[in-house]
Amino acid sequence: MKITRITAIPLSYRLPEGKTVTMGVGSTLKRDAIIIRVETSEGITGYGESHPGRSPGAITSLIHNTLAPLLQGMDATDVVGAWQRVHRMQFSSHGLGAGAALALSGIDMALWDIRGKAANMPLYELLGGSRRRIPAYAGGIALGYQPAAALAAEAQSYVERGYKALKLRIGDTVKDDIERVTHVRQALGDDIDILTDANTAYTIAQVRRVLPVLADIQAGWLEEPFACNDFASYREAARITPLVPIAAGENHFMRFEFAQMLEAGAVQVWQPDLSKTGGITEGIRIAALASAFRIPVHAHSSATGLNHAATLHFLAATENAGYFEACVSQFNPFRDMFGPTFQIGADGCVEPPSGPGLGVEVDEAIFKDFPVIDGPGYVVKF
């Protein structure tokens, strides 16, 4: 079964006027997603998702002009070989690094979809897992900067739907962050796991003031206080309190950057995103590396049901799996465009889909409703 064609389909959705969500990474203007279609000589077609970075056009072009010609003609089941070929041509020298990881991720995901369809097995089964229930938290682009009472009301709405964990956006001013997290803890009581995400917007001085408060409210973690490569600050933050683990990984690519995180000794919760970090093949390697050091993997997930499904299968087959990040974004039409891929239960858990491969039935007719709008999806005030 040979790879005959690889196609990247970029999609965009502009948020309604006045409905932007603001967080440390900026304010959302639009949502972007890139669907990857891989066709084979046996007639089996696989689908995956590549994160668009801040430039869906660039990732689409990289796939069509460089990765597709590299991989066409290879065995569709040879995910390790495909990974190696892209790594050799896009990382070893003169490559596009993180951009290539995004591009490769969607192709790798589609190849795993093909493997599952060819074997007539859901991916969790092919990966050696079971259809077990996976704890989920309310995440995605939600619970952004807003008055504390409104934030608590939004948080409460997710608890009413079944969520027993949720993630607040911090990285605003220290004063506002402290007021918000304290208020939400009081509003929700002690039984809900409150996670926090600064989206790289903090300085170490700000973290020194915020972390003790996060310890007081028993926050489950502080995610991405700093830029992905600022390991010195990460190491410093980890020394402030043992009570709140530092989390990162959605902006770390390939196992090599996770190995650097390990060497820095500063990140206790790993969050690879299968549509960014090098696909399912690389996600498995990252989880294995983490498991040897008793580090839990709480995979980050993004736009469409394809990445959500892939992440559920992956977590269901990972020994050191943590939470599934359930996208509760109010304006993300990509989440359910192929039908819902997860449903939160009263126990706060979700399950992977049961169909072969990713278990997602892709209807390409819907793509015409989301023509790509190139350029960044978030804007930051300078």
Buried b or exposed e, range 134-172, using 16+ CB within 10 angstroms: bbbbbbbbbbbbbebeebbebbeebbeebbbbbbbbbbb
Measured between alpha carbons, how far is 340 from 351 in angstroms, rounded to an integer?
A: 12
Helix intervals (H) in the chain: 56-62, 68-71, 79-90, 97-119, 123-126, 148-161, 174-188, 204-216, 231-238, 254-264, 279-291, 305-316
d(CA 29, CA 95): 30
For position 273 contacting Mg ion by CB under 5 A, the verdict is no
Give whichever of 182 and 200 is closer to Mg ion, judged by the CB atom: 200
In the shown chain, the binding pattern of residues 146 to 185 toward Mg ion, with x for contact by CB under 5 A and - for none, equals ----------------------------------------
Instruction: Report helix, strand or coil for 330.
Output: coil
Query: Which one of the spans 43-51, 59-67, 148-156, 197-205 is the region binding Mg ion (CB under 5 A)?
Result: 197-205
Q: Does 39 bind Mg ion (CB under 5 A)?
A: no
Q: Does 257 bind Mg ion (CB under 5 A)?
A: no
The site that binds Mg ion (CB under 5 A) totals a number of residues, namely 1
- Reduce the DSSP state of residue 146 to 3 states and report it: coil
| Pick 113 or 154: Cβ nearer Mg ion | 154
Of 2-10, 81-89, 123-131, 193-201: span binding Mg ion (CB under 5 A):
193-201
Q: Does residue 193 touch Mg ion according to CB under 5 A?
A: no
Smallest gap from Cβ 6 to Mg ion, in A, equals 29
**Helix, strand or coil, per DSSP, at residue 90:** helix
- Decide if residue 325 touches Mg ion (CB under 5 A): no
Which structure tokens are listed for 107?
């192709």
Q: Are 89 and 254 in contact (CB under 8 A)?
A: no
Q: How far is the CB of 32 from Mg ion (least distance, A)?
A: 17
| Least distance between Mg ion and beta carbon 371 (Å) | 28
Q: Give the shortest CB-102-to-Mg ion separation in angstroms.
A: 16
Q: Tell me the closest approach of the beta carbon of residue 207 to Mg ion, in angstroms.
A: 15
C-beta closer to Mg ion: residue 107 or 168: 168
Told to check if 197 binds Mg ion by CB under 5 A, we report yes
- Tell me the closest approach of the beta carbon of residue 322 to Mg ion, in angstroms: 14
CB of 112 to Mg ion, least distance (A): 24
Binding part of the chain for Mg ion, among 37-45, 122-130, 189-197, 334-342 by CB under 5 A, reads 189-197
CB atoms within 10 A of CB 115: 23
Please tell me the distance from the alpha carbon of residue 116 to that of residue 120, in angstroms, as a whole number: 6
Residue 337 CB coordination number (10 Å): 22
The distance of closest approach from Cβ of residue 199 to Mg ion in the complex, given in angstroms and rounded to an integer, is: 6
Q: Whose Cβ is closer to Mg ion: residue 49's or residue 197's?
A: 197
Enumerate binding residues for Mg ion (CB under 5 A): 197
